[in-house]
Structure 1
Amino acid sequence: MSGTHHSEHHRIHRSGWLRAAVLGANDGIVSTASLLVGIAAAGADSAQILLAGVAGLTAGAMSMAAGEYVSVKSQEDTERADLQMEAHALEHNHEAEHRELAAIYRERGLDAELAEEVARQLMRHNALEAHARDEIGITAELSAQPLQAAFWSAAAFTLGGAFPVAAAATAPAAALLWLIPSLAIALLAALGATAAVAGGASPLRGAVRVCFWGTLAMGLTAAVGRLFGVAV
């Protein structure tokens, strides 16, 4: 044995905040840019476009934060209820819970004797943790964190939407129909590639995927603005 320590840097612990951040940034870029493009296509002036962009950015960030918090809080409530149920079962029917855990390990490939011993030792160490992880699928790395999700979602939405709003504040209205989509597509490509790298996936595939849906959203909104001639 060489004694060399082997370590692997897994990425699953990033899934909670990464999902919220990518969703928030993507929504901030796409929804704000689409709103601005739709209003510009309707023939609004620069002041109206900028006002709509700032209002959409503010409302969107608050909506993202509230939506993430409520949805992830519901997940947290479900996890807490399951843990309470499991704790009650362990307190009142410990032997049955031991058999249940051993059966799980047998299904995963351990022989009966080893499965019994593993279940016994893990339950001696921390019975609730063992059942939460192996029976319910709840781990510390993947457990719900509502405030974290709300913060990252709102912050990322604000950052993503700030770029189209800044373009609307500095460029003439006539240029916004090509400037904002171009800027948004570049931002979406960077976002998709960065998120893919952070998650261990292909940056090209991530960039193409995000750009496709963003382009579609902006194109449809511009078409509605042009068709009806109103700010949407």
Structure 2
Amino acid sequence: MTAGAPTPPPSTAEAHEHSHADVSGGWLRAAVFGAMDGLVTNTALVAGVGGGGASSRAIVLSGVASLVAGAISMALGEYTSVKTQNEQLDLEVEKERRELERNPEGELAELIAMLRVRGVDERLAHEVAVQLSRDPETALRLHVVAELGLNPEDKPSPSVAAVSSFLTFATGALIPLVPFLLGSSLLWAALVCGGVGLFAAGAISARFTPRAWWYAGLRQLLFGAVAAGITYLIGSAIGVAVS
């Protein structure tokens, strides 16, 4: 650009592409929750069963049973939860659609008020609301997003959430069992594996949050340690009582 040349108006600026992380409660939430739950569940289970004096074979058997049952339960729970949320959103969308059909003036006034709250002056808010309301689907989407905080066109997939939860729970639950599956009979080795997995899972999850990786890792390790410690004490007490 030569010196003194006029600056192009903002309208001629090129839009740049960018993306955001999944925050709609889809695969990411299910994957993080599944991995954490699998790690905590089986690390605590190994601690409790091992603390009770069970053999390596019994620990592996109970751990694998917990892995399979927990992964299936998590997948079914996630599928049902997301499916129910989507169905509830569909119900609210239809309710809003009926309101737009029965009371268009009231809904127009509501849309104007939404724009005014966001800093648009009254005259412009009225013009924009009238223009947007010419397309019923656009008006419907704006009302739903503003009132429910959810976009009806961006619903999470129940199947994706279920599969993510199943796979990550199974992976997390497998980690504390690795030493036993490799032939070790040392309880502390399994607990160390579980602790490393918990720290790593927490650190990885920090990538999607403003938290420092070490803080998220230590927090998850602490949660798992508390669960494993309590379960170990209970298992030890039961083992002594029934011996």
| TM-score, length-scaled by structure 1 | 0.90
For the residues of structure 1 that align with 2:182 and 2:86, how far apart are their CA atoms?
43
Q: What residue in structure 2 maps to residue 75 of structure 1?
A: 85
Q: Which runs of 5+ in 1 are unaligned?
A: none
The answer to whether the Cα contact below 8 Å between 2:39 and 2:173 also exists between their aligned partners in 1 is: yes
1:54 and 1:141 map into 2 onto residues whose CA distance is: 39
What residue in structure 1 maps to residue 189 of structure 2? 179
Q: Give the Cα–Cα distance (whole angstroms) in 2 for the partners of residues 162 and 14 of structure 1.
A: 28
Contact 2:43 2:176 in 1 (8 A): yes
| Equivalent residue number for residue 156 of structure 1 | 168
Does the CA contact (< 8 Å) of 1:181 and 1:215 recur in 2?
A: no
Among 102, 105, 111, the residue aligned to 2:121 = 111
Supply the distance in 1 between the matched residues of 2:180 and 2:131 (Cα, whole angstroms).
63
Question: Once superposed, which parts of structure 1, at least 4 consecutive aligned residues long, lie more than 6 Å away?
Answer: none
CA contact (8 A) 1:24 1:153 kept: yes
Q: 1:123 to 1:171 in 2, by over 3 A?
A: farther
Counterparts of 2:205 and 2:152, CA distance in 1: 22
- Distance across 1 between alignment mates of 2:20 and 2:65: 40
Question: Which of 1 and 2 has greater Rg?
Answer: 2
1:140 Cα deviation (Å)?
A: 5.2
Q: Name the one with the larger helix percent.
A: 1
Equivalent runs, 1:22-33 vs 2, <5 Å: 22-33=32-43
- C-alpha displacement of 1:188: 1.2
How many residues were matched structurally? 229
Deviation at 1:92, TM superposition (A): 1.8
1:14 to partner: Cα distance: 6.8
- The Cα RMSD (Å) is 2.2
For residues 153 and 201 of structure 2, the distance between their equivalents in structure 1, rounded to whole angstroms, comes to: 24
**Conservation of the 8 A alpha-carbon contact between 1:101 and 1:119:** yes
Task: Please say if residues 26 and 161 of structure 2, whose CA atoms lie closer than 8 Å, have aligned partners that are also in contact.
Answer: yes
Q: Percent of aligned positions with the same letter in both sequences?
A: 38
Partner residue, 2:27: 17
CA distance in 2, matches of 1:182, 1:136: 44
Letter aligned with residue 162 of structure 2 = A
Contact 1:193–1:203, Cα closer than 8 Å, also in 2? yes
Unaligned runs of 5+ in 2: 1-7
Is 1:193 aligned with 2:189?
Answer: no
* TM-score for the superposition, normalised by structure 2: 0.86
The secondary structure found in structure 1 opposite 2:40 is helix
Q: Indicate the residue corresponding to 1:50 in structure 2.
A: 60
- Which of residues 88, 95, 98 in structure 1 aligns to 2:105? 95
1:170 aligns with 2:182: yes
User: Is residue 35–residue 168 contact of structure 2 (8 Å, CA) maintained in 1?
Assistant: yes
Taking a change above 3 Å as real, the CA distance of residues 48 and 57 of structure 1, as seen in their structure-2 partners, is same
